[in-house]
Chains A and B, each alone.
Chain A
């Protein structure tokens, strides 16, 4: 079941990228007016930063420049903070990898723990008294629940 889910995720991650569009480039850049939104999302009235950037992107696309070239040009001008997401290189690589690495490590940990718990009864059968005590408690609890529900 879980395998199917992971396979699905793998499939989705592997989907091919579409051709570059104005919107895609705009979404890859952060507006510098201080709104904190992407260039695409910023809709400030005559935004002094967003509007010229949109225009420049359109011109560059019309000239046939590819996404990387356009992004590189903006990056040279404004610095790395103009990109709306970290690059995949150097230290920034950690931004992308860490969450997945943490979850995979967590999944491994959870799997190991479950395996240990699954095996536990075979290797070390629990002593009878606590079980009896636990059962008594549970019985009391369930009787109580039943009383409450009827």
Chain B
């Protein structure tokens, strides 16, 4: 079977290469049949990659330890769900998984555009197939997932225990989905540049794709944070690790694009800038993959480290050269006569929002590559860790939060003094009132203080927008309040969905500020029956327990949690010892509420005496991080949900049957 998988990947590469050539020729010579042929080749690539993936998955599930990949990343005792996750747990599998998503999205794009964008599609197909050629070439020539071992292994080395966690079932797929779907807007941008069809059409066609990619990048980042929070056991959720940064940078640039594209739609400005943002987002996804796999920068994510760095950097340079060259070639045509009325306008607020977002992306990039730079220039290894990123990004984040309050409320074109008063009196008043309340509550002046006050200001503008829109409908159309609100959102999904996303963002800002500024930590060595304090909680260590199965053994400390003389919970932080890669992991025990998480880690322990070292963290408002993610996801759904008219008359007809075969 493995040989069949290898054959499928090889054939997929051939078809993809043909897709690039046929697409390019079809585009340049305007031959419709070649363009169709390229698309058919892409369908074949999808079919072949699906076959290869199924074969690898089958080998994993059947514990076929004659395959190097199966032996390296799974074992016979690995639970089934993690055996499936092993598909993306290692380098080779994750590249195959990447190819699968890429060809899947290519097919969806083609079905969507059977009768649309026919001038763009040959180039879109060629671009997507070109990316596929890159990934498939790696699988064929460099790192073969179907490689056989000279002698079959008796047992697999198993998946890294840190990856044996349910968040790892969904974090990498969603991040990959975000990464890979960024290829679609990129392909359309390249197609627009190559074909000279530089109007808004390409941009409208990829609006949902850009949002889709952004949403999955957001989700992937948050799930990654959740995984780190639960698995790494250091009480935090974000360590500014190079690989985290790699996922964060395209998100930032993609966020900038989603804002600036509105200026292009409304005012027909910033065409070049938007093009740059789309190209840059894609380039950053490749750069991120390079960071993950090259090992040039040390990272806790070195699960998939390998010698693939040069290939990725080569591909990145190729992408930058082609995209930059096309952009330079079309620059004169892309220029539009931009006219702006005033600094005090939504356009200006969006421009500064873009500046800050791209600025943060640059700061993160700079901090991530600076150690390499230092080694080149001075020959000295240095570390650029969390203190750097926090100090640089915290002020920028506050400016961003402030702009998130200004953007939605300020008028397009020119805000008159009257408009400003009308838009900002309420929200600024709310922000100031919040600041006063915080001062009364003796919250120290600092980032957290500023974040809370600004957060209230932003919420103020959003609530005001909803309220005024609802009142206007009530007055004009005599609708009841809930109906008016529902209709308001239903008829302006993008706008009000966007506001909901902002509510989620505020929630995340507040969570980050509070959990960084007001975290309480305690560590003590206890014997059974001893107590320790952690903030308002008292922890009593009751006993130590242990058990064992074929896959792992574990030791847990049973801790009762008391507050105000009442027992409120029993927690059992664990250490686990996995048997195949003999490695201990931490299993955090948590009591999570809306106000704070009580987060317990079992440090060292000594079963004969029963002595344990407990680390306790009280992390305020961390739940708001996940809550913010849920709100963002809800807002994104509202934004992306097709309107009634779109549902009645779909832009593309599935199974229209009008495409001649061959």
Q: Which residues of A contact B (CB under 8 A)?
A: 1-2, 5-6, 8-9, 12-13, 15, 23, 27-28, 30, 34-38, 41-43, 45-46, 79-86, 91-92, 94-96, 98-100, 102-103, 106-107, 110-111, 113-114, 117-118, 120-121, 126, 130, 134, 147-150
Contacts and interface: CB of A to CB of B under 8 A. Distances in A.
B236 interface: yes
Interface string B274-318: 000000000000000000000000111000000000000000000
Given A103-B359, A118-B341, A38 B386 contact: yes
B87 to A, nearest CB: 26
Interface string B368-404: 0010001001101111111110011011101100110
Contacts of A100: 392
B391 A85 contact: yes
- Count class of interface residues, chain B: 35 or more
B369 to A, nearest CB: 10
Nearest to B519: A23
B603 interface: yes
A28 to B, nearest CB: 7
Contacts of A37: 234, 239, 300
B134 interface: no
Contacts, number: 157
Contacts of B388: 84-86, 95-96
B466 to A, nearest CB: 18
22 contacts: A1-B406, A8-B398, A12-B398, A23-B521, A28-B387, A30-B385, A36-B300, A38-B386, A43-B233, A43-B601, A43-B615, A79-B380, A80-B380, A82-B383, A83-B383, A85-B391, A86-B388, A95-B370, A103-B355, A103-B356, A106-B359, A120-B337
Interface of B: 233-236, 239, 241, 268, 298-300, 337-344, 348, 351-352, 355-356, 358-359, 362-363, 366-367, 370, 374, 377-378, 380-388, 391-392, 394-396, 398-399, 402-403, 406, 424, 445-447, 450, 491, 521, 575, 584, 586, 601, 603-604, 615, 643, 645-646
Nearest to B584: A45
B600 to A, nearest CB: 12
Contacts of B584: 45
3 nearest A-B pairs in the assembled complex, by CB-CB distance: A99-B363, A84-B385, A103-B359
Task: Name the prevailing secondary structure of the A interface residues.
Answer: helix
Contact of A99 (B338, B351, B359): B359
Contact of B338 (A35, A96, A107, A117): A117
A52 B359 CA distance: 39
Contacts of A147: 645
Given A41-B239, A43-B234, 19 more contacts: A8-B402, A12-B395, A36-B298, A37-B300, A38-B387, A43-B603, A45-B584, A46-B604, A81-B380, A81-B383, A84-B387, A91-B374, A94-B370, A103-B356, A107-B352, A117-B338, A118-B341, A120-B338, A148-B645
Contacts of B341: 118
Contacts of B366: 95, 98-99
A93 B589 CA distance: 41
